[in-house]
Structure 1
Amino acid sequence: MISHLDHIVLTVSDLARAVDFYETVLKMDVLTLEEGRSGVRFGNQHIHFQVLGEELRNHAMEGAGDVCLVTEWSMDEVLDHLAACNVNLLEGPVSRVGTLGPMQSVYFNDPDNHLIEVSVYEQSDTV
């Protein structure tokens, strides 16, 4: 029935701060959505941001999100970039199993305490 994920929505306290974090730390492209809303794009996916109470159908609170993002960067590049951005790691690198197999992950919080996992899939020796 479902073919893919289009977007997720994260509830934030400060829209400009959230956009800046995802653009700077996670290198995502900024989106301007309808009615002055904002979000970010990476690949074919989006993250939309809402300020608490803005969307009456969504009862999510700030910090309720838990997102795993996959990168093509090496884990060393990820760690160097996060250190340069003064991101405090909560855990990692640690071994995990993702949708496509084994990966290495690091965990940290965004400014609204959403848990962000950045993962690098391990290279396969098979073709």
Structure 2
Amino acid sequence: MDVRLDHLVCWVSDQLRALDFYEQVIGLPGVRAEEFRDGKAPFPSVRVSGDTIIDLMPENAANRVDEGTGVSGSAGHPVNHFCLAFGRADFDALEARLARHGVEVTGTGSNSFGARGIAPDVIYFPDLDGNVIEARYYE
């Protein structure tokens, strides 16, 4: 079976501010960013990999998401965290960008199990809307 994570949805209070954070601080490229800025796309996304994006949805869209999924009360539920795996050099660069932008690393760990085995170091930090992000690297 070949299954991949296609996208996740993060609820954000200000889509442009969130897009800037994910692009400038985390370093993920925008998807449909210009279309969103021009009013031609309902939300922007950022690319995690060739297979996966994060959609930046406005908090006030939760009721429309419920209607779309057909599952009442399913929208807007918090997720504990999501994890982004970087190469070691990109992980180090992320830590420097977080510090430069005044983003507090709220937790750390070592020898943490994940999709590709054990990561020697992990960090946790919130985005601008309180979504918790874990960042790690594998050797």
Q: Deviations over 1:47-102 (max 9, x none)?
A: 001111313325115xx241100001345433223212211010115331111111
CA contact (8 A) 2:30 2:44 kept: yes
How high is the TM-score relative to the length of structure 1? 0.82
CA distance in 2: counterparts of 1:86 and 1:99, whole angstroms: 29
Structure 1 or 2: larger helix share? Answer: 2
Look up the equivalent residue of 1:118 and give its one-letter code. Answer: A
Shift in Å, 1:27: 0.6
Tell me, in whole angstroms, the C-alpha distance in 2 between the residues paired with 1:43 and 1:15: 21
Give the corresponding residue for 1:8: 8
Q: Which amino acid aligns with 1:73?
A: R
- Between Structure 1 and Structure 2, the one with more strand by share is 1
* Seq. identity, %: 28
Residue of structure 1 equivalent to 2:17: 17
TM-score scaled to structure 2, two decimals? 0.76
| Alignment partner of 1:47 is 2:54 | yes
Provide the aligned C-alpha RMSD in A: 2.0
Separation in structure 2 between the aligned mates of residue 12 and residue 36 of structure 1, nearest angstrom = 13
User: Conserved in 1, the CA contact under 8 Å of 2:27 and 2:94?
Assistant: no
What whole-Å deviation, never above 9, does each CA across 1:85-124 have from its counterpart, x for those lacking one?
2110101153311111111210000000000000111x2x
CA distance, structure 1, for counterparts of residue 134 and residue 17 of structure 2: 19
Counterpart-to-counterpart distance in 2, 1:42 and 1:59: 22
